[in-house]
A and B are shown apart, each in its own frame.
Chain A
Amino acid sequence: GGIITQTPKFLIGQEGQKLTLKCQQNFNHDTMYWYRQDSGKGLRLIYYSITENDLQKGDLSEGYDASREKKSSFSLTVTSAQKNEMAVFLCASSIRGEEQYFGPGTRLTVL
């Protein structure tokens, strides 16, 4: 078995601030994903990466940057936090196109 860890669990930021979320997996999966979950809108893909140093934009990439410097880690940066923004960011990993394993999430609040 394996595990996905996300840090931090809770992230509180100020409007305009750059914020970074981190994800680590020990499944040895090639593909990693970042999703945003908003109430009533399901899971929306922000970025994904099929291998180390690869980045692919999802449907919601504007306002975000991502980095995959190692196979086991995938970080996401909110480039400029929006006031009153609240969402859960979920990291996942998989073998190509197969079942995704999710982390526990990072809950973002912007004041």
Chain B
Amino acid sequence: GDSVTQKEGLVTLTEGLPVMLNCTYQTIYSNAFLFWYVHYLNESPRLLLKSSTDNKRTEHQGFHATLHKSSSSFHLQKSSAQLSDSALYYCALSDKYYGNEKITFGAGTKLTIKP
């Protein structure tokens, strides 16, 4: 079955430094959709980025990610961390195969930004 791996469970950074959260995935289907969700404390998880296009950079709210099907990766990056970026980040995979509408989530990375 599908799987998503987020290597880092906890990431702590100083404000202003670059952010990179790793995400790799496995699926047998070629039409994979990859998502990054962000979950702030006391809020509901919400979509941050999504992509299904190989080698195309996707950006939103200062974050960006590029889907690389050759390496099955969809790493989340930001050039300069802000205190407000502290949250739980989930990478997720959907293969959109009709009848299989399950989305597979990674274990999540808790990002903490310190002054």
Contacts and interface: CB of A to CB of B under 8 A. Distances in A.
A31 B101 contact: yes
Contacts of A101: 46
Interface string B3-47: 000100100000000000000000000000101010000011111
A103 B44 contact: yes
Contacts of A55: none
Nearest to B33: A97
Q: Chain B at the A interface: mostly helix, strand, loop or mixed?
A: loop
Interface residues of A, number: 26
Interface in B60-115: 90, 94-99, 101-108
A105 B44 contact: yes
Category for how many chain B residues contact A: 20 to 34
A69 B13 CA distance: 46
B98 A96 contact: yes
Contacts of B96: 96-98
Given A96-B96, A97-B95, A97-B96, A41 B103 contact: no
Contacts of A45: 102-105
Given A42-B90, A50-B99, A101-B46, 7 more contacts: A35-B105, A40-B9, A45-B102, A90-B45, A97-B96, A100-B103, A104-B44
For the complex of A and B, 3 pairs with smallest distance between CB atoms: A97-B96, A42-B107, A102-B44
